[in-house]
Amino acid sequence: MLKRISGFFGIFLVFLGIMMIIPLIVALIYGEHSCVRAFLYGISVALIPGIIILLIRNKNAISEERLKLRYSYFVVSLAWLIASSISAIPFVIQGCIPNYIDAFFEMCSGYSTTGATILQNVEVVPKSLLFWRAQTQWLGGMGIIVFVMAFLPNFGINAQNIANAETPGPIATKLTSRFSGTAKKLYELYIFFTILMTVLLMLGGVSLFDSITHTFATMATGGFGGYADSIAHFHSNYVTWVVTIFMFIAGTNFNLFYGIRPLGIRKAFDDDEFIFYRRYVAIATVLVTADLMIRGGYHSLWRALTDGAFQVSTIVSTTGFATCDFDLWPAFCKIILIFLMFTGACSSSTAGGIKIVRVLSVFRMIKRDVKVRIHGQIFNDVRLNGQKLEAKDLRLMVTFTCFFIIMVFGITAVIAVDGFDPLTNFTASLSCMSNVGPGLAGVGPTRNFSGYSNFSTFVLALTMIAGRLELNTFMILFSRHFWDSNMA
Amino acid sequence: MTNSNRFIINVVSTAIRVCGITMLPASFVGLYYNETKSSLILFTISVITITIGRLVAKFFANPAEPPVTRARYAAILITWLVLIFIGMLPFYGAGDNYSLIDSIVESCAGFCTTGLSVIPFSSMPLCLQLWRCLCSWIGGLLCVMLTMSLTPSLLVTGRKLFSAEIPSLSMLKESATYRGVYFKLMTVYFSVTLAGFVLLMVFGMGKFDALTTALCSISTSGLPMFSVDSSVGFNWGIKTVITILNLLGSLNVALIYIAALRGIKRACKNNELNFFLKILLISTAVISISQIWARINAIGPGSLGDSPAQKAESIMKMIADSIMASVSFSSTSGFITSDHLHWTPLTTTVLLLISMIGACAVSTGGGIKVSRLVAVSKSIRLGIYQHIHPNAVKPVKINGKPLDSAVVIRYSMYMVLFLIFILFGALLLSLDTLSIEQCFDISTSMMTTNGTVMSNLGNGTQLFQDLMPLSKVVIVILMIAGRIEIYPVLMVLFKSFWITKSND
């Protein structure tokens, strides 16, 4: 097994090193010498072992039978941890985050597209490091390994398995017969939206640097901004609405966009999950806007709608930007945001959370179950887009939902050792598990995670990765069965 | 008259008869304490209730055929609503001009074994205080009976009674008929209450207090009649008796039978009991360590005492407090016997979580129920296992027997539904002038039928009194949903629930 995955990790490390060259160039452009040194260290930590592994690996091993499914999950989990650990190095060496655990948290937050930060003042961080932060989100958004698979040769690892392990949602859809083709297509779309949004932001008067970093954060539904007051910094309704719309797009199932050409827009988006998603967002926006007008102290409907729509969109897509301090909003609005944090957006998007497809299926299951209890027995199945969902799929979906809930509460209890109030802990745990970023109270949009101890920071960092990889992929590392294959 | 309606009327009439009979002791106690007016009103309501119950039962005999599933859920819901209505009458009629909604909340809190109170206990006549505690007592008993007999898929004849949905009950095949089971159940319930009453008096509690405490403890409804200060001030004997009564109330009735008939060892083999005890053990350990650690950090190691003996004593005291707190919250009673002002956030979180998990199935406790959590956690582990071995065929096993996949799905769905109800409850409560913490705390404590609001410990009555009428309606719905396990309440929202077919 080790032989077979070593080749992959060699390539992966080289890829990581190459990716770090981009912020290095940014550092050179802005003349940030301390960052140049930091990135050179980072690049060498990634490149040197990567090249050595590639040179000494056994080339014959890769042509043998493909890797077993369970090792695919292992590869994915390990790759995400390695990526976060190595990417943290420049922050520590440059000195803006002196504590390695904190830097690791920041990078886990980046790759998992959470956007939670321990930086108390983000505006003093050098531009190249801000760029690197944003770039990690963009890489993590669609899945780092899917990215590697799309553009690099096959290293004996079943691409579909990796995609299943890394793609948000119950099943990774195939658009072409080969998975690398699908990955390529998805990335083409991802890049298209990224360029489009960058251009649109620049048209609104945002600088190139800010446009790129904020686009990376938006399209990946990450939420790292370059300013303490996030998107509110730009004081522009235009920018707010552009970001709102692109966050909504980033929370949509990317596969649907491929239906536009053959089927037309109406049919392509005639998808149960998407219909639910857009209604859900609309209802939440209306409720939040109404409460902001009635009890939130807003006097302008347009202002309330802008803030309401932005905040609903940013939380449901699990981005985590802010245009205002929603921690000061009425309790009603905050509870709606907690609903949104739990559910997240569509599957096969860059969003986190339980995912609308599961929520929808569980709702339909509950509806069916109540009907069974009323009538004794009925014969209609739980369907999604007209297709019957098998008992096994149903069990997996509802079990996942329970697992998610249990983990959120479990992590809340674990980080309670630091002595913060239960609401802070609960929203911190939920926000990290759903990859949102900010929570409420002590981890609200104007606060950060720096108050937590090293232990809790580390736990929350792992929570983000576990949430991004949809729990099971990551949690198998903690199963005895994984390490002892003969165990029944 | 359709089969279903006949069945529902029959169940309801039985319940109101039981309710009327239980009201009698309260009215006699009123006479004993010279509360003539209140006790006469209680007596009148009691006589009318019993008469109506008897007459209805006489005219509408139970149908020979088993009723359809819907009718059983309807019976549970209607029984509960009727009981709350009857229970409300004494508060409204015999009390000190309490408002209608307050009387309803008080009665509902009683029957749902929630420890909250919107009417200050000390201002109530003694007979009403006793009636409030009797409501809890009878609520606890009826809840067990109704879940045992009416929950669908627990079909009506003897052996099949305990099957499908509540796995641990399949161990019990003692009685072939309902009547036998009920009789045994009532005997156990009554004798444990009596024993508790006697023991509490032995440890120095007054007659009346001992009676109300015993009634509320066995039904896991907390101690709404005492302020937190006075319950903290109880002596160790009283605290221990209360804790044991609550623990007994939160155990699966079937397991208590099995322990009594075949020994504790046999009962301990049960997955649910095992898991429940583990939860208690872990939570006690975590709370003890957290409290001891916090005390040392805040005041220094000297705070535990000077000599080793003193240190050991204060540590033992803190461990005992932790045990009591764990039992109190996992049985969803919510009484407080230790200094809650110094609880750490970890303690509060753990207590909140164990109250959500709740007690064993078929007990007087509420919450998600341990048996469900056992099945769900096994299903999660199976999910991870199937990720490692994708082709493995392995069922979820409870007590060594495979559990049907459909049942596992139902358990998981219940857990999700429980959370959805808490979230929606909090959302509706947030229309009031409450903070977000209070909304979640109240919603959770109503769904778990715990009644203790974590963010307002020691001042719950005032908080509930100040709620808007709409919020009071919300908490009544949440309490009922939490008590009768959500589905009967949820069904009301479905159109097909209201449509009667000819063969029903």
**pLDDT single digits (tens) B396-432:** 888 788 888 888 888 899 999 999 999 999 999 999 9
Q: Kindly determine whether residue A370 and residue B430, on different chains, have CB atoms separated by under 8 Å.
A: no
User: Among residues of chain A, what percentage have pLDDT more than 90?
Assistant: 64
- What is the C-alpha to C-alpha distance for residues B148 and B154, in angstroms, rounded to an integer? 7
Q: Do residues B327 and B427 share a domain?
A: no
Please indicate, yes or no, if residue B487 is contained in any of the structural domains.
yes
Q: Do residues B388 and B316 share a domain?
A: no
As a whole number, the mean pLDDT across chain A is 89
Higher pLDDT, B7 or A241: A241
Q: Do residues B412 and B458 share a domain?
A: yes
CA distance A441 to chain B (A): 10
Cβ contacts of A472 on chain B, cutoff 8 Å: 383-384, 387
pLDDT band at A488 (very low <50, low <70, confident <90, very high): low
Please indicate, yes or no, if residue B254 is contained in any of the structural domains.
no
- pLDDT tens, residue by residue, A1-44: 667 778 888 889 999 999 999 999 999 999 999 999 999 999 99
Q: Do residues B381 and B439 share a domain?
A: yes
| Secondary structure (DSSP) of A408-428 | HHHHHHHHGGG---HHHHHHH
Please indicate, yes or no, if residue B489 is contained in any of the structural domains.
yes
Q: Write down the pLDDT at residue A48.
A: 95
Q: Is the CB of residue B468 less than 8 Å from the CB of residue B50?
A: no
Q: Do residues B319 and B381 share a domain?
A: no
Closest listed residue to residue B334, CA positions, set B476, B228, B451: B451
- What is the C-alpha to C-alpha distance for residues A212 and A227, in angstroms, rounded to an integer? 14
Q: One-letter amino acid identity for B7?
A: F
- What is the C-alpha to C-alpha distance for residues B11 and A205, in angstroms, rounded to an integer? 72
Give backbone dihedrals phi and psi of A225, rounded to 5 degrees, phi first: -110, 175
Contacts with A, B 443-482, CB within 8 Å:
454
Cβ neighbours around A33 below 10 Å, total: 11
Which residue has 């998610």 as its token pair?
A: A404
- To probe the interface with B, which of A160, A326, A359, A366 has the most B CB atoms within 10 Å? A366
Please indicate, yes or no, if residue B241 is contained in any of the structural domains.
no
Q: Does A70 touch chain B (CB under 8 A)?
A: yes
Contacts with B, A 271-310, CB within 8 Å:
none
Please indicate, yes or no, if residue B27 is contained in any of the structural domains.
no
- What is the C-alpha to C-alpha distance for residues A113 and B444, in angstroms, rounded to an integer? 31
Give whole-number Cα distances, A170 to A61, A63, A164, B304, in Å.
Answer: 31, 30, 8, 53
Q: Write down the pLDDT at residue B73.
A: 82
Q: Does B397 touch chain A (CB under 8 A)?
A: no
Q: Do residues B392 and B338 share a domain?
A: no
Among B305, B327, B357, residue at a domain's last position: B357
Contacts with B, A 326-365, CB within 8 Å:
330-332, 334-336, 338-339, 342, 362, 365
Its domain, for residue B427, covers 370-498
Closest CB from A69, A395, A472 relative to B379: A395
Q: Write down the pLDDT at residue A472.
A: 83
Closest CB from B70, B349, B490 relative to A416: B349
* A330 pLDDT above the threshold of 60: yes
CA distance A306 to chain B (A): 22
Dihedral sign computed on CA atoms, order A443, A445, A449, A451: negative
Closest listed residue to residue B326, CA positions, set B420, B243, B387: B243
Minimum mean pLDDT range among A80-94, B143-157, B382-396: B143-157
- What is the C-alpha to C-alpha distance for residues A22 and B102, in angstroms, rounded to an integer? 67
Q: Do residues B452 and B476 share a domain?
A: yes
Closest listed residue to residue A274, CA positions, set A348, A216, A166: A348
Closest listed residue to residue A21, CA positions, set A42, A6, A5: A42
Q: Do residues B494 and B438 share a domain?
A: yes
- pLDDT tens, residue by residue, B297-312: 887 777 777 788 888 9
Averaged pLDDT for residues A360-364: 94
Q: Write down the pLDDT at residue A66.
A: 57
* CB-based contacts of A245-248 (< 8 A; 24+ apart in sequence): A245/A313, A246/A193, A246/A197, A246/A215, A246/A218, A246/A219, A247/A218, A247/A221, A247/A313, A247/A314, A247/A317, A247/A319, A247/A321, A248/A281, A248/A313, A248/A317
Locate A463 and state its tokens. 């929570």
- pLDDT tens, residue by residue, B190-243: 899 999 999 999 999 999 999 999 999 999 988 888 888 888 889 999 999 999
- pLDDT tens, residue by residue, A197-214: 999 999 999 999 999 999
Highest-confidence segment of A453-467, B155-169, B384-398: A453-467
Q: Write down the pLDDT at residue A143.
A: 81
Highest-confidence segment of A160-169, A225-234, B91-100: A225-234
Among B309, B326, B357, residue at a domain's last position: B357
Q: Does A425 touch chain B (CB under 8 A)?
A: yes
| Secondary structure (DSSP) of B105-146 | HHHHHHHTT----SS-GGGS-HHHHHHHHHHHHHHHHHHHHH
Spatial CB neighbours of B427, under 8 Å, sequence gap ≥ 6: A332, A335, A336, A339, B439
* B167 pLDDT above the threshold of 50: no
Q: Do residues B408 and B320 share a domain?
A: no
Q: Does A370 touch chain B (CB under 8 A)?
A: yes
Q: Kindly determine whether residue A416 and residue B431, on different chains, have CB atoms separated by under 8 Å.
A: no
Highest-confidence segment of A62-76, A122-136, B337-351, B389-403: A122-136
- What is the C-alpha to C-alpha distance for residues B484 and B418, in angstroms, rounded to an integer? 12
Residue of chain A minimizing CA distance to B291? A417
Locate A83 and state its tokens. 């990526």
Q: Write down the pLDDT at residue A398.
A: 92
Q: Do residues B347 and B393 share a domain?
A: no
Give backbone dihedrals phi and psi of B434, rounded to 5 degrees, phi first: -110, 160
pLDDT band at B286 (very low <50, low <70, confident <90, very high): very high
* B260 pLDDT above the threshold of 90: no
Locate A221 and state its tokens. 């539904």
Closest listed residue to residue B151, CA positions, set B141, B161, B142: B161
| Secondary structure (DSSP) of B220-283 | T---TTS-HHHHHTS-HHHHHHHHHHHHHHHS-HHHHHHHHHH-HHHHHTSHHHHHHHHHHHHH
Locate A335 and state its tokens. 């509870």
Q: Kindly determine whether residue A405 and residue B353, on different chains, have CB atoms separated by under 8 Å.
A: no
pLDDT band at B170 (very low <50, low <70, confident <90, very high): very low
Among B357, B383, B411, residue at a domain's last position: B357
Cβ contacts of A389 on chain B, cutoff 8 Å: none
pLDDT band at B179 (very low <50, low <70, confident <90, very high): low
pLDDT band at B163 (very low <50, low <70, confident <90, very high): very low
Cβ contacts of B389 on chain A, cutoff 8 Å: 70, 481
Averaged pLDDT for residues B334-341: 86
* A174 pLDDT above the threshold of 90: no
Which stretch of DSSP H or E encloses residue A33? helix A33-56
Please indicate, yes or no, if residue B432 is contained in any of the structural domains.
yes
Question: How would you label B77-115 residue by residue, b for 16+ Cβ within 10 Å and e otherwise?
Answer: bbbbebbbebbbbbbbebbeebeebbbbbbbbbbbbbbb
Averaged pLDDT for residues B326-346: 90
A/B interface, count of CB pairs below 8 Å: 157
3-state secondary structure of A322: coil
Q: Kindly determine whether residue B436 and residue A399, on different chains, have CB atoms separated by under 8 Å.
A: no
Q: One-letter amino acid identity for B89?
A: L
Q: Do residues B305 and B395 share a domain?
A: no
Q: Kindly determine whether residue B70 and residue A373, on different chains, have CB atoms separated by under 8 Å.
A: yes
Please indicate, yes or no, if residue B399 is contained in any of the structural domains.
yes
Spatial CB neighbours of B267, under 8 Å, sequence gap ≥ 6: B255, B256, B258, B259, B273
Cβ contacts of A479 on chain B, cutoff 8 Å: 381, 384-385, 388
Spatial CB neighbours of B161, under 8 Å, sequence gap ≥ 6: B148, B149, B154, B155, B169, B178, B181
Q: Do residues B484 and B430 share a domain?
A: yes
Q: Is the CB of residue A210 less than 8 Å from the CB of residue A134?
A: no
Which stretch of DSSP H or E encloses residue B397? strand B396-398
Which residue has 């090293």 as its token pair?
A: A454
CA distance B179 to chain A (A): 25
- Please count the helices (runs of H) and the strands (runs of E) in chain A: 22, 2
Which residue has 């298209």 as its token pair?
A: A192
Q: Does A472 touch chain B (CB under 8 A)?
A: yes
Averaged pLDDT for residues B357-371: 88
Q: Where are the domains of chain A?
A: 2-178
User: Among residues of chain B, what percentage have pLDDT more than 70?
Assistant: 91
Minimum mean pLDDT range among A326-330, B173-177, B323-327, B438-442: B173-177
Cβ contacts of B345 on chain A, cutoff 8 Å: 416, 419-422, 425
Q: Write down the pLDDT at residue B155.
A: 34
Number of domains in chain B: 2
CA distance A470 to chain B (A): 11
Cβ neighbours around A251 below 10 Å, total: 27
Q: Write down the pLDDT at residue B171.
A: 41
Closest CB from A366, A413, A425 relative to B417: A366
* B166 pLDDT above the threshold of 60: no
- What is the C-alpha to C-alpha distance for residues B91 and A199, in angstroms, rounded to an integer? 69
